Structure 1
Amino acid sequence: MKKTLLSILFACFITTVSAQDKKPFDDNFKYVPSKIIVKLKDNVDTKTTYNAKGKGISKVNIGQLLGIESKVKSTTILFTEKAILKSVARKKQKRTDYRVPNPGTLKNIFLVDLNSKTENIQEILATLNKNEKVEYAEPDFNYDVNDFTIDSEIIYPKKETTNNAVTPNDPLYSEQTNIAAVKIDKVWDAYGTGDGSQTIAILDTGIDYTHPDLAENIWINEAELNGVEGFDDDGNGYIDDIRGWDFINVDNAPLDDNMHGTHVAGIAGAVGGNGIGIAGAVWNVKLMPIKVFQSNGVGNASTIAEGVTYASENGATILNMSFGSYAESFTQVSQVTTP
């Protein structure tokens, strides 16, 4: 079976390869050993309240409710109130998607932190998935920015010689065979090279936002830039997130320590026509750095989910998620199909 390729540039959805022919805990499925994700049915009352920043707190002992209290260190509501309400509204409106005919809501999804890394995850999940209060329980799957393959039958043609009206002066443009392969130059001619109105969230290993071919296009949170240092000026739950957020090191400096994210950001939105480096698919665009992968290129579903929520709630109009795995997370599919 081919590995899943999640590469989202011009639409907010996930394209997945079916995993139905894989066993739930095939050797190729990697996950965090001490965490699981549990979705309780929507009608289960978890007595949840939300603070001013949309973070939920349940007054119910979730470990006890699930019958695994002795194995649970802590539980966290994974999604914000805003994200949950949007997903509930989507379901009520019966808005369907051909990729996910019956998407669930983001209500009652908990990240469960177990006491020990040696807990038998398979056994725990098997028990939970028989619980009448549980819609699904799954591992906190790992994903990898290098963990995908390109179909061998895809052939990238040599760069075509065109007389297009838009020809960037970037010195490495002549080596960008991908431009001809996807005919972006024809899009430039017909529709322009971007007007800065779109924000692409790059969920990856971070971005070198000081790079001379990217710096001009990096998304800036003006409220935090012009606010008080050390204070959450825009009330989004993240202090001084001027250029996005690092969910790995939990700070406001989502710099790339792998270079995969910087590479992806360059393909999507390197400044074109500036006489430096390459030309991105869009020359004038906002690139939002969201670091959800470690320096080794590995990330997990719950962290990626936090990154998607951040992107959605801070104005991103497009998600770029270039990573893969054999695993399919119900949680991620439900999240990215919520408008």
Structure 2
Amino acid sequence: MMLFVLLFIVMSYTPCSADAEPIHVNRPCLNGWVGYVPDEIVIKFDASVMDAMDSKKAKKGRLGISAFDRLGIRHEAVCVSPRFAKSKAKRYRGKEMNLAGWHKIRFAKKIDVKSVINAYRKIAGVADVQPIGIYTICATPNDAWFSKQWHLDQKNDLDIDSPEAWDFETGNESLVVAVLDTGVRYYHQDLGGSNASVDYPEDANGNMWINWSEKNGVHNFDDDANGYVDDWIGYDFVDQVSSFAPCWPGEDCDQPDNDPRDFHGHGTHVAGTISALTNNGYGISSVAGGWSIGEHQPEGTGVKVMPLRVGWSAAYSGKEQGFVRMDFVAEALVYAANNGAKLANASWGGDGTGNLSEAIDYFLSGGGILFKAAGNANNKDADYICSRTDLAIVSVAATDASDCKAGFSSYGNWIGISAPGVDILSTYHAHGDPEQDYLALK
């Protein structure tokens, strides 16, 4: 029995090489909404509260305003923090929008979310107050594995015709795509280039978005004054999430930081599908990964991937499950808009909580386009984002290798486009063997 287990482990994790079989990832996928964050809410103060509040007291859960402080004491508020200090006032669909009033309130213990929200809503000076929803994450170049990527090209032509499209455009490196997911293994050599590695992640380049002001700047200093210190390759927005479900062993669940590396694997798979380095003799090809010179190089010519970590792995019902929080997504969208991303990918379910609605408006108002997965419920129900009527939100259903709707995919007249979504071979991070680059079928 021990020999079988060891053999299974060796066979299941295979490095990214031409003669190896990829991992077939088959994690359980709970579909959709699983609850609200039990010890945090988001709140929008109007100008009267913003002018009167004491920012020093806010760091300890008080505002210096009696009505708010009484409620804060009753429910043990420990911190009131601004969410979008660097956001700019904008107009979208004919209305003025300003995110400056949005704050997050953290409590010392779990609260009755709905009753606490109702209590805050009654106080003068509260423009809005919302819970924070938690959703599941579900899931002819010379690249060695191109022939296995049916979605790019296959003999029956039921694919997206990538070779034909590459005759016109292989990927525009001036475009930045924000990947809002579990993070990205940005030092995977089919994403970050030939110099990147687990030992030298700071050498990543390739098709990754690099914030050169911070990369070449002063350590522990906000060189570009965007409100984030040392954010040289995106940002990790995940912050103290263990109150909902225990963090999976080895996962980073503690606090936001400038290292948006992946643990779960989903975000790395998404990033590779979009812009793995193409024609570099390594790993896979991708839709918009540029066109290398036929060998592994440190730099890429494809669209740039901005990794924004909004999801994480947790132990849920005894199994590893990926989750994403709407407040993290809102913060990531504002970051993306303020740092040059015009495209954003969202491969998970969601609602309008955590002030996500205004954050989407903010991203779209700058000319952004948001690509949103239709969902894995095999029904006609659109989630909040897909149900919006904005022309710049594209809902994407999944198809299989026969060009039929994937069995799991949601569907309806709200779908913008359909794209391959079954057994897609892409880059991957296997946390059971983090030293190696991997490919996986999902």
- The one-letter code sitting in structure 1 at the alignment partner of 2:38 is P
Deviation track 1:139-191 (CA, whole Å, cap 9, x = no partner) reads 12112222x7xxxxxxxxxxxxxxxxxx32222222222225344444333x3
Q: 1:299 to 1:275 in 2, by over 3 A?
A: same
Instruction: Determine the C-alpha separation between the residues in 1 that align with 2:137 and 2:33.
Output: 15
Aligned mate of 1:31, from 7, 32, 36: 36
Q: 1:138 to 1:94 in 2, by over 3 A?
A: closer
Aligned mate of 1:208, from 159, 176, 185: 185
RMSD after superposition: 3.0
Aligned mate of 1:140, from 113, 129, 132: 132
Instruction: Report the equivalent of 1:109.
Output: 102
Deviates more, 1:202-211 or 1:66-75: 66-75
Instruction: Determine the C-alpha separation between the residues in 2 that align with 1:337 and 1:168.
Output: 39
Instruction: Determine the C-alpha separation between the residues in 1 that align with 2:134 and 2:335.
Output: 20
Instruction: Determine the C-alpha separation between the residues in 2 that align with 1:94 and 1:253.
Output: 36
Q: 1:65 to 1:291 in 2, by over 3 A?
A: same
Structure 1 contact 66–131 (Cα < 8 Å) conserved: no
Structure 1 contact 47–59 (Cα < 8 Å) conserved: no
SS at match of 1:323: coil
Aligned mate of 2:312, from 279, 294, 302: 294
SS at match of 2:50: coil
Instruction: Determine the C-alpha separation between the residues in 1 that align with 2:119 and 2:259.
Output: 40
Aligned mate of 2:285, from 269, 279, 283: 279
| Structure 1 residue 202 displacement after superposition | 1.3
| Structure 1 residue 260 displacement after superposition | 0.7
Deviation track 1:21-52 (CA, whole Å, cap 9, x = no partner) reads xxxxxx95511111011234x55442189x9x
- The one-letter code sitting in structure 2 at the alignment partner of 1:231 is F
Q: 1:61 to 1:126 in 2, by over 3 A?
A: same
Structure 1 contact 63–69 (Cα < 8 Å) conserved: no
Residues paired across the two proteins, number:
272
Q: Does 1:255 find its partner at 2:261?
A: yes
SS at match of 1:47: helix
Aligned mate of 1:187, from 165, 177, 184: 165
Give structure 1 stretches of 5+ with no counterpart: 1-26, 96-103, 149-166
Instruction: Report the equivalent of 1:178.
Output: 151
- The one-letter code sitting in structure 2 at the alignment partner of 1:181 is D
Aligned mate of 2:71, from 54, 68, 71: 68
Q: Does 1:334 find its partner at 2:334?
A: no
Instruction: Determine the C-alpha separation between the residues in 1 that align with 2:144 and 2:65.
Output: 58
Deviates more, 1:294-303 or 1:197-206: 294-303
| Structure 1 residue 247 displacement after superposition | 2.3
Aligned mate of 2:346, from 318, 321, 324: 321
Q: 1:48 to 1:201 in 2, by over 3 A?
A: farther
Instruction: Determine the C-alpha separation between the residues in 2 that align with 1:197 and 1:48.
Output: 44
SS at match of 1:214: coil
| Structure 1 residue 132 displacement after superposition | 5.7
Structure 2 contact 67–123 (Cα < 8 Å) conserved: no
Structure 1 contact 240–252 (Cα < 8 Å) conserved: yes
Q: 1:28 to 1:144 in 2, by over 3 A?
A: closer
Structure 2 contact 183–307 (Cα < 8 Å) conserved: yes
TM-score (norm 1): 0.70
Instruction: Determine the C-alpha separation between the residues in 1 that align with 2:181 and 2:33.
Output: 21
Instruction: Report the equivalent of 2:394.
Output: none
| Structure 1 residue 129 displacement after superposition | 3.8
- The one-letter code sitting in structure 2 at the alignment partner of 1:192 is E
Structure 1 contact 171–275 (Cα < 8 Å) conserved: yes
SS at match of 1:112: strand
| Structure 1 residue 261 displacement after superposition | 0.8
Q: 1:131 to 1:29 in 2, by over 3 A?
A: farther
Deviation track 1:39-77 (CA, whole Å, cap 9, x = no partner) reads 34x55442189x9xxxx9x99546834862322222122
Instruction: Determine the C-alpha separation between the residues in 1 that align with 2:150 and 2:327.
Output: 36
Aligned mate of 1:309, from 334, 338, 345: 334
Instruction: Determine the C-alpha separation between the residues in 2 that align with 1:112 and 1:311.
Output: 23
Give structure 2 stretches of 5+ with no counterpart: 1-31, 153-157, 193-205, 239-254, 290-301, 315-321, 366-442
Deviation track 1:218-253 (CA, whole Å, cap 9, x = no partner) reads 111111222223332222232322212222343322
Instruction: Determine the C-alpha separation between the residues in 2 that align with 1:323 and 1:61.
Output: 39
SS at match of 1:239: coil
Instruction: Determine the C-alpha separation between the residues in 1 that align with 2:117 and 2:92.
Output: 28
Aligned mate of 2:92, from 75, 90, 93: 90
SS at match of 1:235: coil
- The one-letter code sitting in structure 1 at the alignment partner of 2:179 is I
Structure 1 contact 198–316 (Cα < 8 Å) conserved: yes
- The one-letter code sitting in structure 1 at the alignment partner of 2:186 is Y
Structure 1 contact 47–60 (Cα < 8 Å) conserved: no
Structure 2 contact 211–231 (Cα < 8 Å) conserved: yes
Q: 1:286 to 1:108 in 2, by over 3 A?
A: same
- Structure ranking higher on relative contact order (CA contacts 8 Å, 6+ apart): 1
| Structure 1 residue 268 displacement after superposition | 0.7
Structure 1 contact 77–110 (Cα < 8 Å) conserved: yes
